[in-house]
Amino acid sequence: MPNARTFVQYTTRRRGVPHPRSVRRWAQAALRSVRRRSGDLTVRFVGAREGRALNRRWRGRDYATNVLSFPGAAASDAIAWLGDIVLCVPVILAEARAQRKPADAHYAHMVVHGVLHLLGYDHLRGGDAIMMERRETAILRSLGYPDPYGTG
């Protein structure tokens, strides 16, 4: 198991939101998949208002989005701060309903997706997107979830 801590924060109602134990398991699976042995991160569950404000401030987009990742700076200590992941609960639940997926499967995907962003993965270019999607799919399968992209 990686030497990493995942801190979980809730600034919205807890109904329909995963337990911290699940969030930590998903984050650790993503870290193990890239053989990352150390680093701490925070996963914060927010409502639409906070999600929209953060997306507007940091990305210049005036709407709430499903996941935002804020990579941290490597610390000089043995443990690095990997960064923060913000999950917008109403957006994720609406997407899960629209995609006819269980909410926990979509939350797991968004946590894994966010952790990979903290580790430098991106999906802006086609080749990078394919590599990131394959990694996400493999991690989610290892956790017992189906392919989030429905490609296999």
pLDDT tens digit sequence for 22-45:
999 999 999 998 876 678 999 999
For residue 136 the two structure tokens come to 């996400």
Residue 122's pLDDT is: 86
**Is 24 domain-assigned?**
yes
Residue 74's pLDDT is: 58
Residue 35's pLDDT is: 76
**Is 74 domain-assigned?**
yes
Does residue 147 carry a pLDDT above 80?
A: yes
Most confident of 13-27, 41-55, 109-123: 41-55
Cβ burial, residue 92 (10 Å; 0-12/13-18/19+): buried
**Is 149 domain-assigned?**
no
Q: What is the DSSP string of 9-51?
A: EESS--TT---HHHHHHHHHHHHHHTT--B-EEEEEEE-HHHH
- Domain limits for position 73: 6-142
Q: Count the domains in the chain.
A: 1
**Is 152 domain-assigned?**
no
* Contact of 84 with 41, CB cutoff 8 Å: yes
Q: Considering only the C-alpha atoms of the chain, give the largest distance between any 2 of them, rounded to a whole number of Å.
A: 44
Does residue 137 carry a pLDDT above 90?
A: yes
Average pLDDT over the chain, rounded to an integer: 90
Q: Which has more confidence, 74 or 83?
A: 83
